[in-house]
Structure 1
Amino acid sequence: MAAQSFEKTNFFWELQQQVQRFNEWLESVTARNQNQVPELSLEPWFLDLLWLVVRGIFWLILGLILIWLGRQIWQNWQKYYDSVPSLSNAGLTKAGANKLKVSVWIERSRKFYLEGNYQEAVRCLYMATIQRLNDRGIILDETSRTDGEYRQLIQNLPNREAYQILLNTHEQLCFANRVISLEIFERCQQAYQEIEKQ
């Protein structure tokens, strides 16, 4: 009979042997150290106190996160609110504001003028002008229309300069944060009176 060849070693068998040796070594180390570690016995009141502290820390962290999140939301909302001039100054959006009659806008302008709030007085004159154009069917008011678009649409109207004074002042008021003086208000009021005479 021919002599058969046998494997003397195998990679997987060697790996299994190494893993077994490591496990035996780890078991001997932990058994030795287990006798040296004192047994920890905690009283029930201590466990209750520890659990109370852990819960308190959890709720404190959660509360701080919620406060921080609320503050971030509030600050972003404030930035938005402050960036919309008609909301922050007049308390109205342009869409809701245009539903008012011209006479109401003029009355508001007078009220703001008497209070010394020339910016809002000019804004009301501007809104009265836009509403007057809408009421007469000359230029229908659309909330998406800009001052530049109104400027293009008034090119063929009589008293174009009076309209431009109000449009330019409103544009500077909203986008350049221009401070409106009594002089500027009076010029805008005179321009509106010229428009009203048509």
Structure 2
Amino acid sequence: MVVEALWQRGANLGASWGDSLGVPRPQHAAVLAAMSTGAYNTTSIGWRLSQMWRRGSEWLEYQFAQADIDLPEFPDWSLPEEVGRVLFWLFVVALSVWLGWLLYRALEPSIQKWLAQDRQWVKLGQSAIAPEADHSAQYWWQQAQTFAQNGHYGEACKALYQATLQQLDDSRTLTHDPSRTDGEYLASLDQALGKPMPRPYQLLIGTHERLTFGAATATAEMFKRCRRAYEQIQKEIAKK
């Protein structure tokens, strides 16, 4: 607004001088148009950058003048608007990259801590994929007795199921693979035995499937049936 007011005062002063010198009014309009264009150009990015350069050079000249140092003449650059726009966006991109780098350095300890925790959870998940295969059949038998004594009959039946699978793995009858489903165990066991599936196997595997995926309620009587089935399987494996 200040620049436009100055231009307007200059235009009015020029018009009065033109009248006193006998300059036709149409030429006054041309002068006003030129002034208007000049005022418009002062809003361009190129003009602003050139002004910043000029002010910076003047400030440096003043500072060095205080120290009595002669400086070379600074060029009076007038950048085209397109060049000024390109330089402006290059500056914005460089500033954004720099600020992003500072933000990353500030958050790096937290990021590294989060990544370390994530890797720890992955390791824990991988170690928990097959915990059943890390224990012996005797371990699962003792777990079953402990669960039953505390009234956790469902967990006791599942422990007997794990003991059975480990017994089959130890006797090389069936490989204990935690990724298998109960249906896959039944199919593999039927093929490995080469005869109709004995009822104790059907009882233990079927009970485990109902407790895990169904709505069956574990009772003391259910645990007793599973324990008898496990003892029969032990005797059958011992005969081989």
Q: TM-score, normalised by structure 2?
A: 0.43
CA distance in 2, matches of 1:101, 1:177: 29
Counterpart of 2:179 in structure 1 is: 144
Contact 1:147 1:171 in 2 (8 A): yes
Partner of residue 170, structure 1 = 208
How many Å separate the matches in 2 of 1:175 and 1:155?
Answer: 22
Alignment length (residue pairs): 128
Runs (5+) with no aligned partner, structure 2: 1-126
Check conservation: 1:112, 1:120, Cα contact below 8 A. Answer: yes
Bigger RCO (CA 8 Å, 6+ sep): 1
Which residues in structure 2 correspond to 1:4-15 (within 5 Å)?
none
| Corresponding residue for residue 26 of structure 1 | none
Larger Rg: 2
The Cα of 1:94 is off from its aligned counterpart by: 6.0
**Separation of aligned partners in 1, 2:166 and 2:159:** 10
Higher helix share: 2
Residues 166, 176 of structure 2: 8 Å contact kept: yes
Q: Which amino acid aligns with 1:191?
A: A
Match in the other structure for 1:186: 224
TM-score by length of 1: 0.52
1:123 — aligned with what? 158
Contact 2:140–2:160 (Cα < 8 Å) also in 1 = yes
Contact 1:154 1:160 (8 Å CA) reproduced: no
Q: Which amino acid aligns with 1:124?
A: A
Q: Deviations over 1:106-127 (max 9, x none)?
A: 0000000110110110010000
Q: Report how far residue 144 of structure 1 moved.
A: 1.4
Identity of aligned residues (%): 36
Which residue in the other structure is 1:61 paired with? Answer: none
**What are the within-5 Å matches in structure 2 for residues 76-115 of structure 1?**
93=128, 95-115=130-150
State the Cα RMSD in Å.
Answer: 3.8
Instruction: Name the residue aligned to 1:155.
Output: 190
Deviations 1:91-136 (A, max 9, x none): x956112210111100000000110110110010000001111111
Partner Cα separation in structure 2 for residue 188 and residue 94 of structure 1: 25
